[in-house]
Amino acid sequence: MTFWYQRQFGDRAAIALCFAFGPYPTVATRSARDVSWGNFELWVHGKCLTGSNQNNESAQGIDWYLLPIMEWFLNVGVRLINEEPLPTTAFQGGVRDACSWFDATMRPPLLSEHDEETWFLSRSEWRQHHALRRAAEDLALPNVVFRRLGDDLEVSWDNETLSASRPNLHFQQLRGRELVLARDFADVVATALRETSLALAARSRMERLVEFHERCQALLATGDDWRWLVPTSTATTMLDHTPELVERIRASATRSIQGLYVPHTPETNALRFLQTRSAEDIRSLLDATQHVGGQPIRKKLQSLCHPRPAQAERPWDEGNEYAEVVRHSLGWEQDSTPDLRRWLTSQRVGIVAGDLRLPESIAVLSYRTEDSRTLIHVNPRSKSRVRSEIGLATALGHLLLDVNPIAVDGELEHWPTAARARAFGIALMLPEDGVRESLRQHGAVDPYSVSALMKAFRTSPIATTQRLLNLGLISEDQRLDLLGALHSA
């Protein structure tokens, strides 16, 4: 095809949209849609997500009318780039990205007829604003989902579970997940819409395309778009019951907006994992962050802070490995961990004991300021036994590894950062060499040897058996049998 317009927006090594327009292949131009016939490509971290094979032919882009794709980006752009929370807490255990969340919600939970309808509407609305396949019903697009994650935008794709609708068409990138800076993608989308709509309007001079270009030119986020950064129920509660807080966030967001991109404020950063209809919960969480320690943590612990995004595949491996690095650096090797509360206090980590009146959905809160002052709180109201038992170690994992300075670990924090921090906490308490040596001395993995292991390292049945599972020493069925035997002993 000979293109009369062809341009790449962004960097293929990070994220890029490529648009090319050519003559409509079969009939003379009759409509605005016909003028937009062309080729579309989506690139993320050097991977062409629109690359496909069909009938033994390969292609990087998709040939079709591109106006529906452009209109979709225009209509959903602000929400796509800024909406972080998922619409429900159901099916979140073990979810690694937005694609796997959507796959896990193919069947609804057990709900009443009214609640099930509400559930499907909420899920479908979320998909409409985040899944590329919703851009054009009559076009075979790859199964790509965009979702805000802190300062990043998560791009995940799954063409294995939900394959292409067209026979003999197979997208080359089957399953994956990458993070890009959300502000970069916001700039790519805004620039692409402005420039491509201008090209179509100038070439056709059609009233619809001129109006479309004017809408693209006017597309900007506003101070009110902070609401996409926190769960809907939380945002609604804030609007109804905390007007001063809303005004503070709105003013901060208005000052910092960059095109379509709304940066997190300190308040939305804390509230993004709180789904509540209680103004008291909101105030309690924000008040809790004010308990940060008065001094920076000691240099030795600062040297162990290496924030980085968690890998999507097996993030617990990274947590296990870094726990061993920390143990070696601190000279603990395969010995039992010292009393963690005392040790953290000696490192000037701000540990807040008592009851901060956080909701049950929050198990652990950790916070790291730019000047290396810190806060750790294990919520006594949480019903999660394992998180309360390894809460301090989990919080330390968040402090050392998370890019985001605040972690609210609980029912809504189910993403790879949480899996990594929890694995770190368990591995910190149960060093691999120490575990293997203890089991070697007993000659078998049975309730007796596991009890001895728990005594030696001062750990609980849940954390201990989970560590054995992570090390590949027992199966999930064996773990459940061991837990039953240990609880009945």
Q: What local confidence, expressed as pLDDT, does residue 25 receive? A: 64
Of the listed ranges 99-103, 149-153, 156-160, 304-308, the one predicted with least confidence: 99-103
Contact 270/252 with Cβ under 8 angstroms?
no
CB hemisphere CA count around 172 (13 angstroms): 18
Mean pLDDT, range 77-83, rounded to an integer: 97
Q: What is the DSSP letter of 472?
A: T
Are 304 and 449 in the same domain? no
- Residue showing tokens 């394992």: 386
Determine if the pTM surpasses 0.85.
Answer: yes
* 143 has a pLDDT exceeding 70: yes
Q: What local confidence, expressed as pLDDT, does residue 115 receive? A: 73
Give the pair of three-digit tokens for residue 243: 């007007």
Are 334 and 389 in the same domain? yes
Output phi, psi for 156, to 5 deg: -120, 150
Are 448 and 391 in the same domain? no
Q: What local confidence, expressed as pLDDT, does residue 31 receive? A: 87
Residue 278 lies in a domain: no
Domain hosting 26: range is: 5-217
Are 182 and 331 in the same domain? no
**For residue 245, what are the CA distances in angstroms to 90, 237, 238, 470?**
29, 11, 7, 43
Residue 284 lies in a domain: no
* 91 has a pLDDT exceeding 60: no
Contact 80/15 with Cβ under 8 angstroms?
no
Report pLDDT digits (tens) over 12-54: 999 999 999 997 666 656 788 889 999 999 999 999 999 999 8
* 485 has a pLDDT exceeding 60: yes
Closest-CA residue to 98 (of 123, 117, 75): 123
Are 36 and 166 in the same domain? yes
Output phi, psi for 40, to 5 deg: -125, 135
Of the listed ranges 61-65, 136-140, 432-436, the one predicted with least confidence: 136-140
Of the listed ranges 92-96, 141-145, 190-194, 289-293, the one predicted with least confidence: 92-96
d(CA 178, CA 348): 35
Are 424 and 437 in the same domain? no
* 343 has a pLDDT exceeding 60: yes
Of the listed ranges 32-41, 80-89, 275-284, the one predicted with least confidence: 80-89
Per-residue confidence band for 1, with pLDDT thresholds at 50, 70 and 90: low
d(CA 442, CA 199): 75
Residue 69 lies in a domain: yes
Domain end among 388, 410, 429: 429
Residue 287 lies in a domain: no
Q: What local confidence, expressed as pLDDT, does residue 489 receive? A: 66
Are 192 and 239 in the same domain? no
Report pLDDT digits (tens) over 420-474: 999 999 999 999 999 999 999 988 899 999 999 999 999 989 899 989 998 899 9
Residue 31 lies in a domain: yes
* 68 has a pLDDT exceeding 60: yes
Residue 13 lies in a domain: yes
* 93 has a pLDDT exceeding 70: no
* 64 has a pLDDT exceeding 80: yes
Angle between helix 416-429 and 461-470 (nearest 10): 110
Identity of the amino acid at 448: Y
Mean pLDDT, range 72-101, rounded to an integer: 82
Q: What local confidence, expressed as pLDDT, does residue 293 receive? A: 87
Are 32 and 158 in the same domain? yes
Are 239 and 336 in the same domain? no
Q: What local confidence, expressed as pLDDT, does residue 412 receive? A: 62
Are 360 and 413 in the same domain? yes
What is the three-state SS of 164-184? CCCCCEEECCCEEEEEEEHHH
Residue 305 lies in a domain: yes
Mean pLDDT, range 180-207, rounded to an integer: 96
* Residue of 167 and 321 predicted with greater confidence: 321
Report the number of distinct structural domains present in the chain.
4
Full strand arrangement of the beta sheet holding 406-410: 374-378, 362-368, 406-410
Are 472 and 356 in the same domain? no
d(CA 163, CA 170): 7
Give the pair of three-digit tokens for residue 43: 């690139």
Domain end among 178, 195, 217: 217
Q: What local confidence, expressed as pLDDT, does residue 122 receive? A: 84
Are 213 and 331 in the same domain? no
Per-residue confidence band for 111, with pLDDT thresholds at 50, 70 and 90: low
Q: What local confidence, expressed as pLDDT, does residue 45 receive? A: 97
Residue 291 lies in a domain: no
For the CA atoms of 416, 419, 421, 426, what is the dihedral angle to 10 degrees?
Answer: -160
Domain end among 397, 429, 461: 429
Each residue of 67-90: b (16+ CB within 10 Å) or e? bbbbbbbbebbbbbbbbbbbbbee
* Residue 138, C-beta contacts closer than 8 angstroms, at least 6 positions apart: none
Mean pLDDT, range 93-108, rounded to an integer: 76
Give the pair of three-digit tokens for residue 194: 């402005």
d(CA 478, CA 489): 16
